[in-house]
Amino acid sequence: MKPTLLFAFCALITLVSSVPAQAPQQHSAQGELAALITELRAQQAAIAANQIKLNEKLATLAESIRVAR
């Protein structure tokens, strides 16, 4: 056999044999990913609420400066 063909055959066997072994890990990884997505959404909601508060304070400050002039 040619070395390239032998290498390709070995690589194919390695890939095929490793696929079933990784399947259970994906299930737990999906659970972790779902938890991270939930946490990220909560953080984004908190950031949005903080941004609204900042905008309100900035508007109040701008109005105070306008009145002071």
pLDDT tens for 30-55 read: 889 999 999 999 999 999 999 999 99
What is the model's pLDDT at position 54? 96
Query: How many domains would you assign to the chain?
Result: 1
Specify the amino acid at residue 26. Q
Residue 51 covered by a domain: yes
Cα gap 1→4, rounded to integer Å: 8
Entry pTM: 0.54
**Residue with more model confidence, 32 or 6:** 32
What is the model's pLDDT at position 1? 54
Residue 59 covered by a domain: yes
Q: Domain range holding 52?
A: 41-69
Q: What would the two tokens of residue 12 be?
A: 């194919």
